[in-house]
């Protein structure tokens, strides 16, 4: 399962990087495969372990903000080896076939 999530403190002003870093610390400490980009952190694992990390990451931000917004998107499917990267690799293969060089 892949879960992309974003947790944002509400009322913390424009600069939320320090609070968002609290969530990313939780994800990194989990040991689960993950990637963070400008808008989301994506985690790979089974339902219980991924949702526990999302819960703890959200709580880490909420400890410093009275209100948070959580956006979550999940890809639930049977086991796919390294789905975090294999899905992107499939797209890259298709795009490479378009290249006439």
Q: List pLDDT tens digits, range 82-95.
A: 888 888 888 888 88
Q: Within a 10 A sphere around the Cβ of 84, how many other Cβ atoms?
A: 16
Q: Specify the pLDDT at position 46.
A: 92
Q: Specify the pLDDT at position 20.
A: 92
Domains, in order of start, for the chain: 2-98 (3.30.70.930)
pLDDT greater than 80 at residue 11? no
Residue 3: closest CA among 43, 37, 30: 43
Contact 41, 4 (CB under 8 A): yes
Torsion of CA 9, 11, 17, 20, to 10 degrees: -10
pLDDT tens, position by position, 12-63? 667 788 999 999 999 999 999 999 999 999 999 999 999 999 999 999 999 9
Report the pLDDT averaged over residues 67-93.
Answer: 86
**List of residues 6+ apart from 84 with CB closer than 8 A:** 2, 33, 34, 35, 42, 44
């Amino acid at each position: 399962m892949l879960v992309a999530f974003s947790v944002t403190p509400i009322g913390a002003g424009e600069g939320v990087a320090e609070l968002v870093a609290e969530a990313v610390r939780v994800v990194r400490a989990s040991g689960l495969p993950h990637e963070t980009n400008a808008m989301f952190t994506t985690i790979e694992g089974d339902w219980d372990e991924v949702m526990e990390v999302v819960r703890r990451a959200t709580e880490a931000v909420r400890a410093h903000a009275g209100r948070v917004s959580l956006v979550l998107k999940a890809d639930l499917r049977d086991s796919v080896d390294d789905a975090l990267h294999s899905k992107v690799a499939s797209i890259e293969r298709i795009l490479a076939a378009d290249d006439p060089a």
